[in-house]
Amino acid sequence: MKTKSRKTKDIVDLVQPAVRGLAAYHIDETSVRVKLDAMENPFLLPDSIGKEIGKAAQRALINRYPDPSAKKLKQAIARYWKMDPARMLLGNGSDELIQAVILAFGGPVVAPSPSFAMYEITALALSQKVVTVPLTNEFGLDADAVIKAAKRSKAKVIFLACPNNPTGNRFSDAAVRKVLEKVDAAVVIDEAYVSFSGKTFLPFLKMHRNMIILRTLSKIGLAGLRIGVLTASKEIIGELNKIRLPYNINTLSQAAGLVALKHASTLNKQISLLISERRKLYNALLRTPGVTPFPTETNFILMWIERDATKVFQALKKRGILVKNLDQPGPLKGCLRVTIGTPAENKEFLKTLKQIL
């Protein structure tokens, strides 16, 4: 036994120190009645579209490798989001595209904090240095501080989630454009929540050779398909294509994504409903004593809870409602993040929260 445990230890010693030092991205896998933790669209597609997806899956040639460049799906996404298919790259979720960008450009990587955790986790996993720059007190982008940090560290990539997760706000156009203009690094503008803000930096793509836009089909109702989208100059796409895994979008995701986008109007209606639910929930939270919701242009609301937020999180979970607990020392102390659910789920969340408080 002694020898065995020593061997186990030795093999783990071979793992890169940067990886050994990492904490895995935390996903709460508790099975709950009301799941409001992961910014998913709570609505399934109607049965008729589900059946169409079933038929497409039946026809799919799963004995063959997928179309390596996912041509048809890329074209459908290009039509939906008015992008140029020649300047696009698809990924197994935008998570994979974040990894591809860091693989291609390397580090140091600069990102505001708090922001989406995967920028830092992925950079560290690839043994790259990370420099985080605090947001302002109102969760705004401190453009000068980002530019300074990028110059000082000789950053290769800067990630700006816009709107930002987990704060929910969109950085000002002026601040983002200032960063784009003043740094030598590649600037990734992560528009995962663009459908809920209605505002995009896409028109600026032609003006900035260092700009990369990232999007995802996850938040609009297709999280299970894992389809991320990147658009940038042809030169950047050419480089990223060299390191992309050859068959990264599987055949069934390509087939299902194509059918779903044929019915984009159904997805868009769900998004509109979620936006109106967001307004209702936000206003109700504003009126709830002991709760301060922060302005949002996403499908989630960050809120500060006067009472012990971790206890409130646990009490919600005990009653079958899962939100994201962000209550840790730092700017998000006392904060929880709730994803906008169906009207019934939002009502139940609000009622239960009030009972707990």
Residue 190 interacting with ligand PMP (CB under 6 A): yes
Tokens found for residue 74 = 């890329």
CA distances from 224 to 28, 72, 120, 156, 292 (A): 17, 19, 24, 31, 32
Q: Which of 99, 169, 210, 218 binds ligand PMP (CB under 6 A)?
A: 218
Q: Does 339 bind ligand PMP (CB under 6 A)?
A: no
Cα distance between residue 77 and residue 93, in whole Å: 14
User: By C-beta, is 126 or 315 nearer to ligand PMP?
Assistant: 126
**Could you say which residues in the range 72-131 bind ligand PMP, by CB under 6 A?**
93-95, 116
Find, among 327, 323, 314, 330, the residue nearest to 349 by Cα. 323
Nearer to ligand PMP, 99 or 210 (CB): 99
Going by their DSSP bridges, the two strands 157-161 and 186-190 should be labelled as parallel
165, 210, 339, 352: residue in contact with ligand PMP (rule CB under 6 A): 165
CB 39, min distance to ligand PMP, A: 6
The CA distance from 251 to 266, in Å, is 23
Neighbours of 290 (CB within 10 A): 12
CB of 117 to ligand PMP, least distance (A): 9
Closer to ligand PMP by CB, 165 or 352: give it: 165
Tokens of 139: 């969760």
Question: Judged by CB, which is closer to ligand PMP: 223, or 356?
Answer: 223
- Our measurement of the distance from residue 342's CA atom to the centroid of its chain's CA atoms, rounded to an integer in Å, reads 20
Check residue 327 for interaction with ligand PMP (CB under 6 A). Answer: no
H or E segment to which residue 134 belongs? strand 130-134
Placement of tokens 């900035």 in the chain? 208
Residues composing the chain: 357
**Beta carbon nearer to ligand PMP, 74 or 348:** 74
- Cβ closer to ligand PMP: 218 or 254? 218
How far apart (Å, rounded) are the C-alpha atoms in residues 96 and 222?
16
From 137-145, 215-223, 255-263, 307-315, span contacting ligand PMP (CB under 6 A) = 215-223
What does the alpha-carbon distance between residue 341 and residue 280 come to, in Å, rounded to a whole number? 12
Q: How far is the CB of 227 from ligand PMP (least distance, A)?
A: 7
Which residues form the interface with ligand PMP (CB under 6 A)? 39, 93-95, 116, 161, 165, 190, 192, 216, 218, 223, 228
